[in-house]
Amino acid sequence: MTDHGTKASPSPRTGTNATPDTGGALPAETRVFSGMQPSGEAHLGNYLGALRQWVPLQDAHECFFCIVDQHAIVGEYEPDDLPARVFDLATSFLAVGLDPERSTIFVQSDVPEHAELAWLFNSVTPVGDLERMTQYKDKSARYESIPAGLLNYPILQAADILLYRADRVPVGEDQLQHLELSREIARKWNARFGGYFPEPKPILSQAGRILGLDGNAKMSKSLENTVRILAEPEEIWGRVRTAVTDPQRVRRDDPGRPEVCNVYTLHGHFTDPERLPDIAAQCRAGTRGCVDCKRILAESIGDHFAEVRERAREYREDPGLVRDILEAGARRARVEAQETMEAVRDRMGIRWRSRGEGG
Ligand code: SF4
């Protein structure tokens, strides 16, 4: 692990280049952090936009995967449901192949230093920067009285990442602006208190934008336009059959345009690549109806997640194991978090006892 003992010297993790990459050729010592809100079991959007990419990162990098439950309390939520949502997402993490032997998998609220560092970062973050965030502008418009947490949300994200001095953060395009703010916070803090934090760079998701089954620009559980990755085949079909397709295909034999159809995009992620030319050709020729095309997709999704469902069943039958994994992850995370906070408190002068010791 990096030596941060010398106050004036910059952290070896400190960097300046924000060029996004896809994670394929990162230096071996790269430390990766990523978090996901606990909205329950993961769905196709979570999988395509994040989890599928996280799994191979474990092969070569030191990874911290965090269930960010303290982010989930911004906005409407049901407190009694939150623990189960955390547990269900943890089960999804493990079932898709996040490996507690190789990665640190934990829950944000088990490491109180996240909230502490976020508070300290408040001191270097301009309100104007927070107000410029696109997500803040979009979401705040829904409130009569805007919670401060909505504005400060990206500061907690910066704390999540920088607490572990992560070099890289897998993100979708919609999170690039927040990550740039994290980099800015690191820069400002380093300039004021001495170089310590790296400026984390993005690993851009290769999945592109994943539209909802209803054609909405975002696939999300709350919009009910997605499929749980642990859904049984019948449920998958129930969701996929509602998916919007090329609006030009009104009758079964109308020629279609796979390139504008979200079902075809999803085929690209889940269906055997050798079948794709036939699916596209039959669509264009109007020789296969959309219902049949969706059936193929539903089967492909079901097959793709068959092993994941099986592993999830095993974890559900042994909830104590999931709890143990999260607790072990939190212990590992706390070691790093405490090391960071000792350095941060020291540099920020939050160490009144040192006065009596000549500090
Ligand atoms: S046949 Fe398939 S790819 Fe073509 S429009 Fe229908 S669902 Fe989409």
ipTM of the predicted structure? 0.99
- Reply yes or no on whether 7 is catalytic: no
- Position 356 confidence tier, pLDDT thresholds 50, 70, 90: low
Q: Label residue 94 by pLDDT band (50, 70, 90).
A: very high
Residue 232 has pLDDT above 90, yes or no: yes
Strand order in the sheet with 103-107: 103-107, 62-67, 31-36, 168-171, 201-204
Q: What is the mean pLDDT of residues 103-122?
A: 98
- Atom number, ligand 1, closest to the C-alpha of residue 293: 2
Burial class (CB in 10 A: 0-12, 13-18, 19+), 79: exposed
Instruction: Name residue 107's beta-bridge partners.
Output: 67
**108 to each of 42, 157, 246, 291, how far by Cα in Å?**
17, 11, 42, 43
Q: What does the alpha-carbon distance between residue 187 and residue 240 come to, in Å, rounded to a whole number? A: 45
Whose Cα sits closest to atom 7 in ligand 1?
290
Average pLDDT over residues 245-274: 94
Distance 251 CA to ligand 1 centre (A): 12
Domains of the chain: 31-209+319-357 (3.40.50.620), 233-308 (1.10.240.10)
Which pLDDT belongs to residue 115?
98
Residue 21 is predicted with a pLDDT of 53
> Which segments within the chain are labelled E, that is strand?
31-36, 62-67, 103-107, 168-171, 201-204
Q: Name which residue sits closest to atom 4 of ligand 1, judged by CA.
A: 283
Mutate to test the pocket of ligand 1, among 237, 242, 283 (most ligand atoms within 8 A of CB): 283
- Please identify, by atom number, the ligand 1 atom nearest to the C-alpha of residue 262: 8
CA–CA separation, 356 vs 348, rounded Å?
A: 17
Per-residue pLDDT tens over the stretch 1-32: 333 333 333 343 443 334 445 555 666 679 99
What was the pLDDT predicted at 110? Answer: 98
5 or 273: whose pLDDT is higher? 273
Of 21-30, 97-106, 149-158, where does mean pLDDT reach its minimum?
Answer: 21-30
Instruction: Please work out whether the CB of residue 245 comes within 6 Å of at least one atom of ligand 1.
Output: yes
Residue 49 binned pLDDT confidence (cut-offs 50, 70, 90): very high
Q: Which amino acid is at 17?
A: N
Indicate if ligand 1 lies below 6 Å from the C-beta of 246.
yes
**What is the average pLDDT across 59-86?**
95
CA of 249, closest atom in ligand 1: 5
- For the stretch 316-350, pLDDT in tens is 999 999 999 999 999 999 999 999 999 999 999 99
Distance 283 CA to ligand 1 centre (A): 5
Residues 85-108 have a mean pLDDT of 98
**pLDDT, mean over the chain:** 91
Q: Answer yes or no: are the C-beta atoms of 38 and 86 closer than 8 Å.
A: yes
Q: What's the gap between Cα 240 and its chain centre? A: 24
Q: Is the CB of 249 under 6 A from ligand 1?
A: yes
Q: Is the beta carbon of 283 within 6 A of some atom in ligand 1?
A: yes
Q: What is the pLDDT of residues 156-212, one digit of tens each?
A: 999 999 999 999 999 988 899 999 999 999 999 999 999 999 999 999 988 877 899
Q: What is the pLDDT of residue 8?
A: 32
H-assigned helices in 28-147? 44-46, 52-57, 82-96, 113-121, 127-131, 134-140
- Tell me whether residue 139 is one of the annotated catalytic residues: yes
* 261 ligand 1 Cβ < 6 A: yes
